[in-house]
Chains A and B, each alone.
Chain A
């Protein structure tokens, strides 16, 4: 007898599959034991402290009067950047799987390739969100650093940032398919470009000669610079969100188009 499944049941099943995949990825990251993951987390925690003191030093010297950001905003920007590092600079396992020959396994499951990648990436974020981001967000205010965004538009901006981040990362994966065995190169170029041009390490406002004014509207600026500026109270929040929305509209259809014409060149070597 044929079983009839309603739309809501179907959606429920699909959502269940996504949650299961995310959980699998989260558990995979914890497989080596909590202690080894904490080693990575402690390195991240330790790295943010000097940056906070660096900004304090610059303000204490009195040379940051024309920065356009107060010390409180700058500290909040830096800490939020560290807290949301994985979400602001999205890195899916797609490129790594192409190199390791695991990408093809995504075609063996009855789900969309991009859907699986998104679910697995979000699942991979969970251990660090709980072990690193949450404690940092709670401890920050104890040291006088605001970790709650001042503008409610931040949530929308973060969502757009993550969406643009996935599109850019998957574009790099398509580039990797085209360039075949240049995994290391594509990875290092992406890391270099995204760290500098996204504004995740140094706020655009701190750059000289008005460079940052231009960089904040680039697709990379939409990743970290825009949501962090909105979180600390930028006056241009609506323009920044419009810019992010524009990049979403441009990048996602482009990604589908590029992937459609690239996937048949995919090769699996084994890592």
Chain B
């Protein structure tokens, strides 16, 4: 698959998203508003705590604002590229027995997953809001924003998304074996990650910090990248730790997905009645 082919697929999904927006503008504006409200309420609590308490968990209120804006941009990117067709909530597609829809497409699984979630118009509200907030928070922080800084920022945003999606896909594999019980396991992953990722972890014991940078890597979604960008990476870890972790995470997730897929092909998942209702 060439880059050009991928771009043509993205253009196709962008066109479909635009058509959806134009055909039912009221509905789409409500979707965009709800996405924005969800993200803002997720970060509002922590921001209010940062305002209330000086040096909140080892970070100033401006640094916390920068971290929250980073999370908003990262979430915005995830929504723009992976929100459509339940690409990020992959356990739903497995648990509902909808993987067959992918089998009949003349594209590889990775190609489909990388492109079909693209919503550049209806999925852009958080990204736009996050960019504005990040611009403001950077002006408050007064840190040098060189080309290297922007490049690092871009890489960390990619890694942040690779981390949350990696964890979501890792847990999604459970849906191959327990479709009903684990259909919504990715929602649990996103819920817990959303509730934890916005808290600065600097003031916590090292064991907790290390756990949140490895076992349940919510610290890698915003806290680690932001402190690395501010020039003081947590626990003295090098920046490439994040890259290494993502590589390990995706190797594990891919291996388990392959195993689960073999199970799916031999057993199948039948959740739909003849009326089209799901059991």
Contacts and interface: CB of A to CB of B under 8 A. Distances in A.
A50 B196 contact: yes
B25 interface: no
A208 B192 contact: no
A202 B203 CA distance: 17
Contacts of B41: 192-193, 195-197
Given A50-B196, A101-B277, A208-B52, A192 B38 contact: yes
B178 A36 contact: yes
B163 to A, nearest CB: 16
Interface string B46-65: 00110111111110000000
B252 interface: no
B132 interface: no
Contact of A201 (B38, B45, B51): B45
A72 B214 CA distance: 29
B192 A202 contact: no
Contacts of A53: 204-205, 208
A202 B277 contact: no
A36 B182 contact: yes
A57 B203 contact: yes
Contacts of A201: 45, 195
Interface residues of A, number: 48
Interface stretch (A5-13, A15-23, A60-68, A145-153): A60-68
Given A36-B174, A37-B181, A270-B275, A188 B34 contact: yes
Contacts of A39: 171, 174, 182, 185
Contacts of B35: 188
B30 A40 contact: no
Interface of B: 27, 30-31, 34-35, 37-38, 40-42, 44-45, 48-49, 51-58, 96, 171, 174, 177-182, 185, 188-189, 191-192, 195-196, 199, 201, 203-205, 208, 211-212, 215-216, 272, 275-278
Given A36-B174, A189-B38, 15 more contacts: A29-B181, A32-B182, A36-B185, A39-B182, A44-B188, A49-B208, A53-B204, A63-B56, A100-B278, A101-B277, A188-B34, A192-B41, A196-B42, A206-B49, A270-B276
4 nearest A-B residue pairs (beta carbon): A32-B181, A32-B178, A57-B203, A270-B276
